[in-house]
Structures are given as C-alpha cells and as structure tokens.
Structure 1
C-alpha cells in the first residue's frame, strides 16, 4: 500500500465524518437557521478563523501534520457557552458540526486552489473530534445544556466546570489524534502503536496548547465577548510559531547534512543518490521496527553520512559498493567517516553509529557484543542498495534480497532483514 492509496481505515473515518454532518443537517437544520440569525457574527467569526487556521499547518519531522489554530478554534466553538454577559450562544452540537464542516470544506477548496495538499482524512478526523466534544458538553439535564447550566446558574464551582470542559476537549482532541495516527499507519504500512506514539508525543507542547485554547476562550467570552477568540488563541498561536521554527531548524540541519553526504557523489566515490536512498530505506525500516523519533533522527544522519570515509581513499571503489570490499577496508572507511564527523563535536552518537555499521551480526549472536540496532539497519540498507545498484525493478530487488539472505544471521540481523522485506512488499502493493 502506498501513501497515495485510500485504506479501509481512511474510508471509515471519512464515512463517520460524513454521517455526522448528515445527522447534523437532519437534526439541526432549523436550529442552524435560528443560530445564524441570532449569532451570525460569532458563528461567522469562528468559521473564518477555523478556515484560516487550516491554511497554516505545520508538518513535523515524522510526517505528522497539525493545524493547531483550526483545531483549537473548533474545540472553542464546541465548548463556547455564554458570549455576551447573560446572552448565551445557545446552539446544538449539530450546529457546531455544520459550522465546522463548512469552515473546513472552505479551507480545503482554498488549499486545492493554491495547489497545496488537501488530505481529507485530517479534516474528517478533526470534524469527528470536535463533534464528540460538542456532544459531551451538552449531555445532561437542565434543559439539555449540560455543563453550561452549571456555569450560567452558578450551581457548580467554576473550577469544576473548567475541569469538565478540559476533559471534554481532551476526549475530542485525542480522538482526532488516534484516528489520524491509524490512517497514517495504514497509508505507510507502519505499526499503529508506533504511529500513535509519534502523534501523541512528538509535539506535546503544541497538543497541550490546543487542548487549553478551547476552555480559555469559553471562560473569557462572558467577560470580554468575541475578543475572547483572538486572546484565547494567542498562547496556542505563540506555541505554534515556536514549533514551526523548531521544525524549520530541523529541516535546515537535515539539508546541511544531506549536502555533506553528497560530497562522495560529487567526488565520484559513490553513485548519485546512494546516500539518500540508504537513509530513506533505513528510516522506513526503523519505523517498521517501532523505533523512537530521536533514534530515527540519529539513524537518518548516520545513514546519510555512512560513506563519508570514502573521501580518504586513493582510488574509488567500483560503483562505490563498500559491500564488495574486504572487511578491513569496510572498517577503515567507517572509522575514517566517524573520525570526520566527530570533529563537529555535536554528532558523537551519530559517529558511533557510523563506526559500528560494518560489524557483522555474528558478533552479537556468538560473542554477545553490543551493536546498536541503528548500525545494523544501516548495514542492511547499504547492502540492499549496493546489491540492487540503486534500481527498483523486481529483478534487481529480488537479486539484492537473495544476496542478503546468504548472509542472514552471519552478516545481517534477521529481524532487520525481515523489516526490510516488509518495506519492499509495501512498495509493491
């Protein structure tokens, strides 16, 4: 299955979101007309902010895509109760769903016109999550207003209302994250638990900022009215800016290392694209094995630079295929590359991974030597690219896998090879 195909999970998420919108139309059409008449400015403001927020997404290093402004605004709309003193924004959860769906569809049309990625499953997951939050805060007696009857009539302490709102927002937000993770896992052929861990842990500060935005807007609204929307979202927006700057810095750092990795290609020591292919394959294998994001980052850097030691050779290896050289030559190349990287004084761990990449797996099996799994992955990914000569046709791939199987358990870690086979099979589907 490729990332462009539509998985069964993705179709299910889209179907649930569509069913919620249809239900909202059927059950809340009259309420929508009344709400638009009574609260047109408020609902229109939320529609615009959600749509604009969807245009400003941030893509994390793992590939996770977040739209914090849109998500925070959607949760705020679901939680919003009193707006102007004693005048309530008395709308049903169906109205919340319809306003949110209209805003997100508008944003997707604009993104399509701007030739940006649409990724409808993100919109569907966001719709489901915010709708669930709207349902939760409207459960209960007191005329069906749920927790809002507590706030308006002062029958409950405000801190308890805040806790209820926070929990309701958390349920909706984490439903969004779980659905998104499941779709990404199916699209990329990765373990669901690993993808979910990335979703929940990679940008926790951003997630917490989104979670707090809705209740903050809801509590500010009775005091300052519609101005609560920009003021309540401000802390989350600042967090978004910080995370965006972090991801840009990571991308720049990655580009710098990628440029350095091409030194051997420019000098004629390795084939064009070899380092990038080994790095991409290594990262995919690591994700199949369930490695953490920080481990994958160091692995990618080490894989990009794994052949750097070849610049010290007097004459290039034929086709740059280190797998064809003697074990002593392989160790010298790896050691020289690690020595160069250690001079940066910030990539010592990456240098260690590079230095151990040539160690045969039998050292682990027979002598109990500790070889980092990252180094074992690089060894397998490099051998696969060397044996296949960088080609992706079935004959070249099968020939490469056959050569690797000859060294299974001796040169190569069987678990890593199994993960390699899974990545190859996913590409063929």
Structure 2
C-alpha cells in the first residue's frame, strides 16, 4: 500500500509558510525585539483571541480577535505618538508564537488549529506586514494623513482578506476536490460577515494605538468579542434547528417506514453532490434539510412501502407521497424552500429545481445499492445512468459518480 502524498499545492503552501516563519523567528532571535512592551501587548491579545477560538468544520474565521490583533500589529507605525521600528520578521514571529501559545489548550483537547489555518495566518500577516512596514519605516507614508492614511490601512487589509480567501478556497479545493469557483464565492461571501468585522477592528486598533497608546487594545477588542458571541449564538440556533429537522426525519425510521440511517446517508451524499455542482452554502443547507425529510410523506400512508423504497413505485404514487411530504414539512414550520424540494422530488427532472433532482437521484441510488448486496453500489449507479433519458438528471448522476469515486461515499448497508 503506497504512502499518502499530500497534493503539490498543499506542500507548496505549507513549505512557504514554514520557511517564512523559520526565517522570521531566526531574524527576531538574532536582533532581539524592538519595543518589547508593544510586542508583548499584541502577543497577549493574539493569545487571548486564540484561547477564545471556536472550532468546527463550518467556521471560516475561528479566532477573529486573534486575526484582528495580528493584522493590527502588522499595520502599526506608532504607539502613543512614538514611532515603532519592528519589521515584518518580528510581526510574523510574535503572531506565530502567540498563536501557538493560545492553541495549547485546544491541542490538548484534540481541537487545535490545522496546518492550513496556521499557514494562512503566517502568510497573510506576513503579506500585509511586508506591504506596510518597510515603506512606513522609510517614511514613504509621512505625507499620508487623516482619511487618506485610514483608507490606506483599510485598502491593505481588504487586499489581504481577498488573498486569504483565495488561499482558503485553493486549499479547500485541493483537499476535497470541490469546484474552486463556488468555494471561492463562499469564501468571499464570508468576508462580508465576520471578515469585515476583523478588517475594521484591525484598522481601528492600529489607528487608536498610534494616538492613545496600548490602552486602546482592550477598549477596541470589546466590540469584536461581542460580535463573536453573537455569531456563536447564531451558530447554536442553527445547530438546534438542524437537530430538530434530523429528529423529525428519524420519525419514519422509528415508525418502521424506512431503514435506520437512510435519511442521514441520503443527506450526506446529497450535500456532497450539491457541492460538486456548485451550490452555495444557503442552497446546501436547504438541500441537506430536504434530503433529511424527503421520506416524511410516508407517515401519511396506511400501508407502508416495503423497505421504504419509493424509487420502484409508479410515478403517480411517488408524486402523491412527495406532495404529502411537502404538506407535512409546511406544518412543521421549516423553510418553505425545503417543502418545495420535498414535494417536487418526484416530478420529471426537466421541471425540478436542482436540489430536487439531487435528492431524487441520491435516494434512488441508496435504495438500489442497499438491495443489491456487495455489488449493489456499482449496479445502482449503472441503473441510474440507464435511466437518465427520462427519470434522473444526467448531470446529477455524473456528479454522483464523481463524488463516489473521489470520497468513497458508498453508502454502506445499514445493519
């Protein structure tokens, strides 16, 4: 069995970040710290930001306070009216050391930052520091005052955020095989959320410390901490919402209408196919919820469908069950878009929204592969391809084949 070899892009990014970090640490150790008090203050703030990080697969900026403090230090030219003289190497060294220190408790719990996150932090902070510190120390920005100087900082931070979004999308594309365009679009959309708060806070901190000194750091950290708490509450509400939908979806399993785990398996693969076809994050959420609840219409049946396999039923019966499911979903108060996908999953694919096409094809694949024994997955996929003339959307079936080949999502038979 051959050893795992990371994709070349991952190796390149990690190697560049490692070389940059190593060189910065070596230069800083050799020359010592300029303005140690300032470096310590920003290092403490980055550490606190990492200590308050929120881990999770869907979190795009897990430590916004740490990111804002790091960017602010990279753009710092004065502290309390006195010029600072630290360069890009010291910025990267302080930020890296503080980030690692703040990550120790998370690493102990097995939830530490990934190499991708650390590499992006080093490269983005290094980028903005290289763009700002050498020109500033040479006096190139001496004539930039007032609004012009503030706009300069915002422009540099905005450019840095765009570069970070490209880095994040490229790394996600390399690791998962998801299309680069939709991933980049989602990353850029995140810039308008917590990313804009990080940019604004980083610029304000740098400007405030230049005028009033280090006391500005705790003062201007409070708004971002409050925003982070608000995002956490929103994420908790979303998680509770999803758990409620998953519980509703399990009603068909508890009642014996569908096999255990069927809805979850369909949801996992449907979401993967949706990513492959370029759906946005909001569209993926609707798709996931609809896939979880796609069989809920069977609760209205007097006689259960054997094994819950609706793909083999006549088209009229499939549509009737789908309409019943849409009516049930509407009564639960779930998003109207989810109900539309559920009730249209049995329509001719030319008339279906993309999410309904995906749910129908993945549901049929799961049912056919479950019934086909060891060779069921390949046989099921071949049957779906033969039925693309009128039953299943060809682009969805081909996407499903790509997802299965890439991710080994073979939907094991529930035992």
The answer, yes or no, to whether TM exceeds 0.5 is: yes
After TM superposition, give the deviation of residue 345 of structure 1 in Å: 4.7
1:301·1:350 contact (CA, 8 Å) conserved in 2?
A: yes
Q: Name 1:160's counterpart in structure 2.
A: 148
Secondary structure at the counterpart of residue 259 of structure 2: coil
Distance in 1 (CA, whole Å) between partners of 2:26 and 2:102 is 24
Q: Give runs of aligned pairs for residues 3-42 of structure 1, distance below 5 A.
A: 6-31=6-31, 33-35=32-34, 39-42=35-38
After TM superposition, give the deviation of residue 273 of structure 1 in Å: 0.8
Secondary structure at the counterpart of residue 104 of structure 1: helix
2:61·2:194 contact (CA, 8 Å) conserved in 1?
A: no
Q: Give runs of aligned pairs for residues 23-422 of structure 1, distance below 5 A.
A: 23-31=23-31, 33-35=32-34, 39-58=35-54, 62=58, 64-86=60-82, 88-140=83-135, 143-144=137-138, 146-147=140-141, 150=142, 155-202=143-190, 204-361=192-349, 364=350, 370-389=351-370, 395-422=375-402
1:138·1:145 contact (CA, 8 Å) conserved in 2?
A: no
Distance in 1 (CA, whole Å) between partners of 2:272 and 2:59 is 12
- 1:265/1:203 CA distance change after superposition, 3 Å: farther
- 1:179/1:308 CA distance change after superposition, 3 Å: same
2:74·2:133 contact (CA, 8 Å) conserved in 1?
A: no
Q: Name 2:413's counterpart in structure 1.
A: none
Structure 1: gaps of 5 or more residues? 365-369
After TM superposition, give the deviation of residue 64 of structure 1 in Å: 3.5
- 1:207/1:115 CA distance change after superposition, 3 Å: same
Distance in 1 (CA, whole Å) between partners of 2:63 and 2:10 is 19
Secondary structure at the counterpart of residue 278 of structure 2: coil
1:282·1:378 contact (CA, 8 Å) conserved in 2?
A: yes
Q: Deviations over 1:93-142 (max 9, x none)?
A: 110011111122223433211221431111110110011111111243x7
After TM superposition, give the deviation of residue 65 of structure 1 in Å: 4.7
- 1:219/1:338 CA distance change after superposition, 3 Å: same
**Normalising by structure 2, what TM-score?**
0.91
Secondary structure at the counterpart of residue 253 of structure 1: helix
- 1:53/1:409 CA distance change after superposition, 3 Å: farther
Secondary structure at the counterpart of residue 85 of structure 2: coil
1:17·1:124 contact (CA, 8 Å) conserved in 2?
A: yes
- Mean CA deviation greater in 22-31 or 294-303: 22-31
Q: Deviations over 1:342-397 (max 9, x none)?
A: 22455322111111101233xx2xxxxx3211110100110111111199x97332
Q: Deviations over 1:297-322 (max 9, x none)?
A: 11111111100011112232222111
- 1:62/1:143 CA distance change after superposition, 3 Å: closer
- 1:241/1:308 CA distance change after superposition, 3 Å: same
Distance in 2 (CA, whole Å) between partners of 1:169 and 1:200 is 14
- 1:394/1:12 CA distance change after superposition, 3 Å: farther
Higher RCO by CA contacts (8 Å cutoff, separation 6 or greater): 1
Distance in 1 (CA, whole Å) between partners of 2:205 and 2:177 is 39
Distance in 1 (CA, whole Å) between partners of 2:5 and 2:329 is 39
1:84·1:223 contact (CA, 8 Å) conserved in 2?
A: yes
Secondary structure at the counterpart of residue 324 of structure 1: coil
